[in-house]
C-alpha cells in the first residue's frame, strides 16, 4: 500500500448485485481506486444480525465479490476480503464497546428502526452494530469513508467513539475517519416507488442475460398518468427515464424527454431502448463475470489473499490499541 490515503467501505453480503448497487456504490468503489488505497470489506458478521440471512451468507459473499471484481475492482491494488476472515475486528469491537455508552447506542434512530423491523429478534449484535462498524473502519486506519446522506450519522458516531478512545487513553492511536460525501443516487426499483432492493423484489440484476433484462425492463412501472399511447407523459416522474439518464447518451435522453411529453414515443419502445442501453453497457461486465465464474475457487483465493493483507494492518493496530489501554 502507498501513502495515497486509505479508503474503507463495507457492505453486507447481498449476493448478486443489481443496478441500485452499481449506481449507488460499485462504480464509486471502482473510481476510488484511482486516487486512494482502498480496503473493501464484505461484512458477513454484520449480516448475522438478521438470522434469516444465515444460510445465504457464504454464497452471497462469493457472488458479491464476483460482481465487484467483474465490475472493475483490482485485487492487485485493492484489499478485498470478508469481515470474519480478520478476527482482530471482533477483538477491537470488544475493546471499543468499553468506550461506548449503551444509552447512546439504544437511542440511535437506526437501532430503533431495526427493533421496529424485527421485534422478534432484537439481538445484542443489533445494539453493537455501530461499534463493530467503528472497529471495521479504525482497524485498517482508514482516513476516508465514502458515505451517502443516510449514512452520515453512522460515521459521526464512529468519530465520537474514536475521540473518546483517544481522549481516555491519552494516545492518538485511532484515526478519526473523514466522510467523503458521494453522490449516491437513490435508485428506484421496477415498481417506480421504492428504493431498488432484493427484499422489495423490484431489482434488475447486473448479471441477467440480455433476454432476461428485456423482460424485467418491460415490466417497469412508468408515468402512472400515462394510460394510453396517445397520452402525453411526464418523464420526470418516470423511473425508466431516470435510468435512461444514467445509461443513455445526452442527445437520446433529450429526445425521449421531448417525445414523451408530446406522445411521440410509446413506453414499450422507450423501455426497449433502455434495455438495449443496459445490455450494451453491461456487456463487458457480463463477459468478465462469466470468465471469472468458471473458477469459483479464484474468488475465495482473492478473498483469502485480501484477508492476509488486511490482517497485517489489523495486527499492528490491535497491538497499538492494547498498548494504549494498558492491557499489553
Ligand atoms: Fe417513461 Fe419513456 Fe413512457 Fe415517457 S415514454 S412515460 S419516459 S417510459
Burial of 74 (0-12, 13-18, 19+ CB in 10 A): exposed
Looking from the CA of residue 257, the nearest atom of ligand 1 is: 7
Residue with the nearest Cα to atom 8 of ligand 1? 267
| Pair (308, 256) in one structural domain | no
Going from the Cα of 187 to the center of ligand 1, the distance in angstroms, rounded, reads 17
| Pair (268, 304) in one structural domain | no
Structural domain span for residue 276: 198-289
DSSP string, 102-147: HHHHHH-HHHHHHHHH-TT---HHHHHHHHHHHHHHHHTT-SEEEE
Q: What is the pLDDT of residue 1?
A: 59
| Pair (302, 285) in one structural domain | no
- Name all residues whose Cβ lies below 6 A of ligand 1: 222-223, 226, 233, 235, 238, 240-241, 256, 260, 265, 267, 270-271
User: 220, 226, 258: which to mutate for ligand 1, most atoms within 8 A of CB?
Assistant: 226
Tell me whether residue 192 is in a domain: no
User: 252, 260, 275, 277: which to mutate for ligand 1, most atoms within 8 A of CB?
Assistant: 260
Looking from the CA of residue 244, the nearest atom of ligand 1 is: 7
What is the C-alpha separation between 292 and 289, in angstroms, rounded? Answer: 5
| Pair (19, 161) in one structural domain | yes
Q: What is the pLDDT of residue 184?
A: 65
| Pair (241, 99) in one structural domain | no
User: 267, 269, 272, 278: which to mutate for ligand 1, most atoms within 8 A of CB?
Assistant: 267
Burial of 327 (0-12, 13-18, 19+ CB in 10 A): exposed
| Pair (32, 129) in one structural domain | yes
Residues in the chain where the model's pLDDT stays below 50: none
Tell me whether residue 203 is in a domain: yes
| Pair (133, 275) in one structural domain | no
The structure's pTM equals 0.93
| Pair (130, 82) in one structural domain | yes
DSSP string, 59-101: HHHHHHHHHHHHHT--TTTSEEEEGGG-THHHHHHHHHHTTS-
Total domains, the chain: 2
Kindly state the helix (H) or strand (E) to which residue 12 belongs, with its residue range. Answer: none
User: 188, 218, 228, 238: which to mutate for ligand 1, most atoms within 8 A of CB?
Assistant: 238
Going from the Cα of 147 to the center of ligand 1, the distance in angstroms, rounded, reads 31
Mean predicted lDDT score pLDDT of the chain: 95
Going from the Cα of 261 to the center of ligand 1, the distance in angstroms, rounded, reads 9
Quick check: helix, strand or coil at residue 16?
A: coil
| Pair (135, 30) in one structural domain | yes
Length of the chain counted residue by residue: 328
Going from the Cα of 18 to the center of ligand 1, the distance in angstroms, rounded, reads 22
Q: Taking each helix axis from N to C terminus, what angle separates 267-293 and 57-71, rounded to the nearest 10 degrees?
A: 100
| Pair (164, 215) in one structural domain | no
Going from the Cα of 270 to the center of ligand 1, the distance in angstroms, rounded, reads 6
| Pair (244, 316) in one structural domain | no
What cell does 20 get?
A: 441500485
Going from the Cα of 280 to the center of ligand 1, the distance in angstroms, rounded, reads 20
| Pair (217, 307) in one structural domain | no
Amino acid at each position: 500500500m502507498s501513502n495515497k490515503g486509505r479508503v474503507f467501505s463495507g457492505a453486507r453480503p447481498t449476493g448478486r448485485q443489481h443496478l441500485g448497487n452499481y449506481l449507488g456504490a460499485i462504480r464509486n468503489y471502482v473510481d476510488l481506486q484511482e486516487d486512494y488505497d482502498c480496503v473493501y470489506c464484505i461484512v458477513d458478521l454484520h449480516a448475522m444480525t438478521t438470522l434469516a440471512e444465515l444460510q445465504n451468507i457464504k454464497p452471497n459473499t462469493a457472488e458479491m465479490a464476483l460482481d465487484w471484481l467483474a465490475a472493475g475492482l483490482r485485487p492487485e491494488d485493492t484489499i478485498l476480503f470478508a469481515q470474519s476472515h480478520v478476527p482482530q475486528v471482533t477483538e477491537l469491537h470488544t475493546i471499543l464497546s468499553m468506550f461506548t455508552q449503551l444509552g447512546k447506542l439504544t437511542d440511535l434512530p437506526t437501532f430503533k428502526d431495526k427493533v421496529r423491523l424485527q421485534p422478534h429478534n432484537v439481538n445484542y449484535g443489533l445494539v453493537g452494530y455501530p461499534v463493530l462498524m467503528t472497529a471495521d473502519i479504525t482497524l485498517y486506519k482508514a482516513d476516508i469513508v465514502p458515505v451517502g446522506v443516510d449514512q452520515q450519522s453512522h460515521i459521526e458516531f464512529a468519530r465520537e467513539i474514536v475521540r473518546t478512545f483517544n481522549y481516555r487513553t491519552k494516545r492518538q492511536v485511532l484515526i478519526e475517519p473523514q466522510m467523503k460525501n458521494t453522490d449516491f443516487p437513490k435508485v428506484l426499483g421496477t415498481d417506480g416507488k421504492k428504493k431498488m432492493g432484493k427484499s422489495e423484489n423490484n431489482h434488475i440484476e447486473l448479471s441477467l442475460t440480455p433476454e432476461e433484462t428485456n423482460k424485467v425492463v418491460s415490466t417497469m412501472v412508468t408515468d402512472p398518468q400515462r394510460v394510453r399511447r396517445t397520452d402525453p407523459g411526464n418523464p420526470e416522474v418516470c423511473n425508466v427515464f431516470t435510468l435512461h439518464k444514467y445509461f443513455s447518451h445526452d442527445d437520446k435522453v433529450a429526445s425521449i424527454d421531448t417525445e414523451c411529453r408530446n406522445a411521440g414515443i410509446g413506453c414499450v419502445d422507450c423501455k426497449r431502448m433502455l434495455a438495449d442501453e443496459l445490455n450494451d453497457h453491461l456487456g463487458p461486465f457480463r463477459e468478465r463475470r462469466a470468465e471469472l465464474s468458471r473458477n469459483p475457487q479464484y474468488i475465495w483465493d482473492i478473498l483469502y489473499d485480501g484477508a492476509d493483507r488486511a490482517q497485517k494492518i489489523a495486527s499492528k493496530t490491535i497491538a497499538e490499541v492494547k498498548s494504549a489501554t494498558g492491557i499489553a
